[in-house]
Chains A and B, each alone.
Chain A
Amino acid sequence: MLTRRTFLQSSAAAVLATSASRACADTPGVTDAEIKIGQTMPYSGPASAYGVIGRAETAYFKMINEQGGVNGRKINLISLDDGYSPPKTVEQARRLVEQEQVAFLFNTLGTPSNAAIRPYCNDNKIPQLFVATGAAMFSDPKHFPWTMGWQPNYQTEAKIFAQHILSTKPDAKIAALYQNDAFGKDYLIGLKEGLGDHAGMIIKEATYETSEPTVDSQVVTLQASGADVFLIAATPKFAAQAIRKAFDIGWTPERYMTDVSQSIASVMKPAGPEKSKGVITAVYGKDPTDARWKNDPGYKEYAAFVAKYMSAKDLIDANVVYGFGLGATMVQVLKQCGNDLSRENVMRQAANLKDLELPMLLPGIKINTSPEDYSPIRQEALASFNGASWEQFGELYMG
């Protein structure tokens, strides 16, 4: 029987239903059943080693979808290849936004790649979330409120090294080997800033290109300078070469290495565990090749994920651990969004992460963001390699 009450109730329900679906129509990429997000990754080209991050994230979302998705929605990650070429990144980003109609961009990789699309994203108010680069320029909410980083930025890490050098070896002579791109350069800048008035402690610098076969010659040059502290701002292959060569020519400086190269299987073992003893790095995540974490619940979660959704050789790949962490962070943001998946709210929630802990982050390290602080992970600990694993020492530094 159609009473006034039922009539009012049903019309109210009808109005709410249409306004809810209208809200969905205003938010591209979002339906009741799925949310579409996009990214570009270098699946081909010089940086193809990092393509596995995209694969890990796709696999992670597959796992989440099989567990029911987030708030009843499946996550559909569209990951396109940009070959690490900024013009291609711009093209693929536009394709994702304008053709595939994604809700936002997630963990796009590369410093020049992200620099190329940052104006586009900010002009069109598209969240450029958790960019896969540690360049300091991407944590700038005042000028670029739609772009946010994730990992501790390289300059911060170098400043932590500087702090440690100043407190343990105030009259050290520093030699720096760095990759000839934004990544390496950021380390040098951070180190100089961290040393402040003592920047003169850096007595010799040497660079290398990723297209060069080895850095042996550079290491020899740095040794000849007489330095007793060696900063290695190099990616895994070259870090391993640097450690080995320094040892082979009889040079025993205090070695500080970027966290990007902390993988035991890919760097310390090829260089030689004996030769790598004593190398210091900054850590924020658990190394999957470190026996210390064998029975750790967070590691077990990660290992189960890899066993089911990826292949065996991916277990030791630090990039897969990275993708795993990113996936978890994204899921948290989506959970916090609830049913409002508009771009504004996604950005707001991304800037509203409080004390988020992830399975593969070191104990004590938490993700925090705010509208003024776009650096989700700012804590790192120093660790020293003892021939078999990384031994943390000292307290957590806040960058």
Chain B
Amino acid sequence: MARADELARFATLAVFAAGLAFPFLASGYHIYQGAQTLIYAIALLGLNLLTGFNGQISLGHGAFFAIGAYGTAVLATKAGLPYWAAIPLASVVCFVAGFLFGFPALRFGGLYLALATFALAVATPQILAFKGFEGWTGGFQGVILTKPKPPFGLPLTGDQWLYLVCFFSAALLYWAARNLAKGRVGRALVAIRDHPIAAETMGVNAALYKTSCFGVSALYAGVAGGLSAIAVGFVSPESFGLALSLSFLVGVVIGGLASLGGVIFGALFIEFVPNIADQLTMSFGESAKALPGAIYGVLLILAMAAAPTGAAGALRMISKRAAGALGFR
């Protein structure tokens, strides 16, 4: 067992080191893709806490991502706040929104929550474009943000600085989530997911834990949204449709539910696999250009068939088998 832990810690350090070295080895466009992957990973961390650990299925996390993004955009452009202040502030708003949404969510669980959050995802672009908010949100025109510049005259390009901001945010949030999950809170969340009645009987305040979990996961999505706003430099209602929320769910499942380490696989999947679908159609000829959606759908089904418990689950199984074969126990 100790060896497995050591292995895990070594793997984490290796990933951390690789991630840190990446922006100095890759070109501008790839660094940008790396930043996007980290942004997705942050959102997936939050969603995993909610859906993986606490069993509350959310198909609408794109909404909280949008609140974080728009919040950051509005604070940055209208209130003139620098990004490093706007993003945390916007994510606090997301926490409150998630916490409040968690209250009605207490009344219904499982599937109903999935349906309600699905409706939320569908309604989000319309809410964002609402005439009444136009003064702040810019309605359909959206809001343009200036990209962050490296501070103190550090010899970094804009892309590298952005990546590092995302990287350290992701690392910090991962560390926080890991502590949360490994400690009392994590155990309580899992208990509520698997045996809600027993947990209540044992004195766990299910309502508080569930709503707080919703809030925290919304906060994570908000941070991701804020980072995305400064990375892309533009927010508009079309950026936050149903597809975004669905891709978050896909990412969490592909990475592995209740596996925080797995979110990196999920993030890589949702960032790069749609591009692969693009490439595949290019080799199938022009009429197949209409098929990236179908290819993505097929890949989803195949991924689930190959690894229903996600990449993390598959890895765990493989490493267990390997450890058994090699004589470790």
**B-contact bits for A127-157, CB 8 A (1 contact / 0 none):** 0000000000100000000000000000000
Q: Are A91 and B33 in touch, CB under 8 angstroms?
A: yes
**Which of the candidate stretches A110-118, A339-347, A376-384 sits at the interface with the other chain?**
A110-118
Determine how close the nearest CB of chain A comes to the CB of B248; give it in whole angstroms: 14
A117 to B261, CA, bound (A): 33
- B182-239 with Cβ < 8 A to chain A: 228, 231-239
Please indicate the chain A residues that have their CB under 8 angstroms from the CB of B141 in the complex: 115, 137, 182
Cα distance A48–B36 in the bound complex, in angstroms: 24
Q: Which residues of A contact B150 (CB under 8 A)?
A: none
A46 to B244, CA, bound (A): 12
Contact check, B32 vs A48: say whether CB atoms are below 8 A apart: no
Judge whether B22 is part of the interface by a CB distance below 8 angstroms. Answer: no
The total number of A-B Cβ pairs within 8 Å is 106
| A interface residues, tally (CB under 8 Å) | 40
B289 neighbours in A (Cβ, 8 Å): 43, 51, 54-55, 79, 81
**Which among A8-16, A82-90, A254-262, A288-296 touches the partner chain?**
A82-90
Inter-chain contact A91/B234, CB cutoff 8 Å: no
Decide: B236 and A86 in contact? CB cutoff 8 A. yes
**Chain B residues near A111 (CB, 8 Å)?**
140
The reply to whether the CB of B313 lies closer than 8 angstroms to some CB of chain A is no
Q: Which residue of chain A has its CB nearest to the CB of B228?
A: A87
A182 and B142 alpha carbons, distance in the complex (Å): 10
Closest-CB distance, A391 to chain B (whole angstroms):
34
Specify the chain A residue showing the minimal Cβ separation from B39: A87
A46 touches B241 (CB 8 A): yes
CB proximity to A under 8 Å, residues B278-317: 278, 281, 286-287, 289-290, 292-293, 296
Cβ of A87 and Cβ of B36 under 8 Å apart? yes
Asked if A99 lies at the interface with its beta carbon under 8 angstroms from chain B, I say yes
**B interface size (C-beta, 8 A):** 40
Contact of B140 with A84 in the complex, beta carbons under 8 Å? no
Q: Encode contact with B along A101-121: 1 for CB under 8 Å, 0 otherwise.
A: 000000000111101100110
User: Would you call B142 and A112 a contact (CB within 8 A)?
Assistant: yes
Contact A115 B236 (CB under 8 A): yes
B152 CB–A CB distance under 8 Å: no
Given A81-B292, A211-B122, A90 and B234 touching (CB < 8 A)? yes
Separation of A269 and B233 alpha carbons in the complex (Å): 43
A311 to B285, CA, bound (A): 13
CB of B235 to closest CB in A, whole Å:
8
Contacts of A112 in B (CB 8 A): 140, 142, 234, 236-239
**A119: which of B28, B36, B144, B235 is its contact (CB, 8 Å)?**
B144
Query: CB of A364 within 8 A of chain B?
Result: no
A48 and B139 contact, CB distance less than 8 A:
no
Q: Is A301 an interface residue (CB 8 A)?
A: no
Minimum C-beta distance from B133 to chain A (A): 13
Could you say which of A85, A95, A110, A137 contacts B241, with CB atoms under 8 Å apart? A85
User: Which residues in B have their C-beta under 8 angstroms from that of A110?
Assistant: 238
Are B239 and A85 in contact, CB atoms less than 8 angstroms apart? yes
Chain A residues within CB distance 8 Å of chain B? 43-46, 48, 51, 54-55, 58-59, 79-81, 83-87, 90-91, 94-95, 98-99, 110-113, 115-116, 119-120, 137, 180-182, 185, 209, 211, 311
Which residues of B are in contact with A by a Cβ distance under 8 Å? 27-30, 32-33, 36, 122, 125-126, 129, 139-142, 144, 228, 231-239, 241, 243-244, 274, 277-278, 281, 286-287, 289-290, 292-293, 296
